[in-house]
């Protein structure tokens, strides 16, 4: 009887352990004690070591934000690399966020998720991209301006009026001979 009860408890524990959403050791955010929360800027090496341990990092990797009054405290300054650069084939604990449980998150992590900024290296260097794009855009704008100055149209000529350029209608003297206007060449 006791053996089956113990066996059932072990089986339930295995089931609970398999629930990846709440692995053993998971805590709710409400159950944090004061020493788990971020604190002031670490000034002594012991404080730095304690802060590194708190953030689950190695002391060599731990680098806080500079103490310039912006209120970062002892939060680690992680490299500004977006989640696009993380290995898509590695089996992360959270595959869509490409994040492992317990890994320190960037201060601006919501900027670096896969739906936002991409900092991954481009195939073409940045200055070449900028140069080529600006050359393209500049050429287009200049050529459009040139095209406005020299537009394209069907061949046109000045309007030709009959009756010797409307000599009488324009108030010419009917008694005099009008100057002959011929609009053709033979």
Partner 1 sequence: MEPALLINTLMILTLLVILTPILLPLLSKTMKTTPTLITHTTKTAFIISLAPMSLFMWTNTESITSYWELKFIMTFKIPLSFKFDQYSMMFFPIALLVTWSILQFATWYMHLEPHITKFFSYLSMFLIAMLTLTAANNMFLLFIGWEGVGIMSFMLIGWWYGRADANTAALQAVLYNRIGDIGLILTMAWLALTSNTWEMQTCPTHMQTLPLLGLILAATGKSAQFGLHPWLPAAMEGPTPVSALLHSSTMVVAGIFLLIRTHYMLETNQLALTLCLCLGALSTLFAATCALTQNDIKKIIAFSTSSQLGLMMVTIGLNLPQLAFLHISTHAFFKAMLFLCSGSIIHNLNGEQDIRKMGNLQKMLPTTTSCFTIGNLALMGTPFLAGFYSKDVIIENLNTSYLNTWALLLTLLATAFTATYSMRMTLMVQTGQTRTNPAIMMDENNPSITQPLTRLTLGSIMAGLLITSYITPTSISPMTMPTLTKTAAMTTTMMGLILALELSTLTHNFYHPKQTPYMNFSSSLGYFNPLTHRLNITKLLNNSQKIATHLVDLSWYKKMGPEGLTDFQLKLTKTSTILHTGLIKTYLTSFALSTLIILSTQ
Which spans of this chain sit near partner 1 (rule: CB under 8 A)?
70-71, 96, 108, 111, 114-119, 122-124, 128-130, 132-133, 136, 140, 143-144, 146-148, 150-154
Residue closer to partner 1, measured from CB, 133 or 163: 133
∠ Cα 87 91 92 (to 5°): 80
Q: How far is the CB of 65 from partner 1 (least distance, A)?
A: 11
Q: How far is the CB of 138 from partner 1 (least distance, A)?
A: 13
Residue closer to partner 1, measured from CB, 152 or 160: 152
Residue closer to partner 1, measured from CB, 56 or 80: 80
Q: How far is the CB of 61 from partner 1 (least distance, A)?
A: 23
Give the span between the Cα atoms of 113 and 94, in whole angstroms. 12
Residue closer to partner 1, measured from CB, 48 or 114: 114
Q: How far is the CB of 76 from partner 1 (least distance, A)?
A: 17
Give the span between the Cα atoms of 167 and 179, in whole angstroms. 8
Q: How far is the CB of 120 from partner 1 (least distance, A)?
A: 10
Residue 64 and residue 51 in contact, taking contact as beta carbons nearer than 8 Å? yes
Residue closer to partner 1, measured from CB, 140 or 166: 140
> Strand pairing partners for 99?
94
| Displacement of CA 83 from its chain's centroid (Å) | 12
Q: How far is the CB of 2 from partner 1 (least distance, A)?
A: 45
Dihedral angle over CA of 12, 13, 15, 16, nearest 10:
120
Instruction: Kindly report the backbone phi and psi dihedral angles of residue 40, in degrees, each rounded to the nearest multiple of 5, phi listed first.
Output: -75, 170
Residue 83 and residue 97 in contact, taking contact as beta carbons nearer than 8 Å? yes
Residue closer to partner 1, measured from CB, 94 or 100: 94
Structure tokens at 21: 């959403």
Give the span between the Cα atoms of 62 and 52, in whole angstroms. 6
């Amino acid at each position: 009887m006791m053996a089956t009860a113990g066996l059932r408890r072990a089986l339930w524990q295995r089931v609970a352990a398999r629930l990846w959403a709440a692995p053993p050791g998971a805590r709710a955010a409400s159950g944090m004690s004061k020493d788990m929360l971020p604190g002031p800027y670490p000034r002594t090496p012991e404080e730095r070591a304690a802060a590194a341990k708190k953030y689950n990092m190695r002391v060599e990797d731990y680098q806080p934000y500079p103490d310039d009054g912006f209120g970062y405290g002892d939060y680690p300054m992680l490299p500004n690399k977006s989640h696009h650069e993380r290995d898509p084939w590695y089996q992360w604990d959270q595959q869509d966020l490409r994040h492992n449980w317990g890994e320190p998150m960037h201060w601006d992590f919501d900027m670096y998720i896969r739906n936002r900024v991409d900092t991954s290296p481009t195939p073409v260097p940045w200055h070449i991209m900028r140069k080529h794009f600006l050359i393209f855009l500049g050429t287009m704008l200049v050529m459009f301006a040139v095209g406005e100055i020299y537009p394209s149209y069907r061949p046109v000529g000045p309007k030709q009026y009959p009756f010797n350029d409307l000599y009488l209608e324009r108030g010419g003297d009917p008694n005099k001979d009008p100057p002959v206007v011929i609009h053709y060449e033979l």
